[in-house]
Amino acid sequence: MRTVRSIRGDWMRIIARHAFPRKTPRGRIEALADALEISRRSCYAYVAEERRVPEEVEQRFIGLFGAVAEDGWRTIEMLRPHTNKAKKKRDAKPRGMSKERYQINREGWRGAAMHAATVLAQDALQHVIDWEQNTMTLGQSLMIDEKLDEQEARAKYPHGFDTLVADEDWVAVCKLCGLAGAVDDKLKEVNGLIFNVTCSTNSYKVAGE
Residues 107 and 118: their CA atoms lie apart, in Å, by 15
Enter the pTM of the model. Answer: 0.40
Residue range 64-105, pLDDT digits in tens:
999 999 999 998 775 444 444 444 444 444 454 455 554 545
Q: Which CATH architecture has domain 2-78?
A: Orthogonal Bundle (1.10)
Number of Cα atoms under 13 Å in the Cβ half of residue 174: 24
Residue range 136-195, pLDDT digits in tens:
777 887 787 788 888 888 888 777 778 776 666 778 888 888 788 887 766 677 888 778
Domain ranges of the chain: 2-78, 98-195
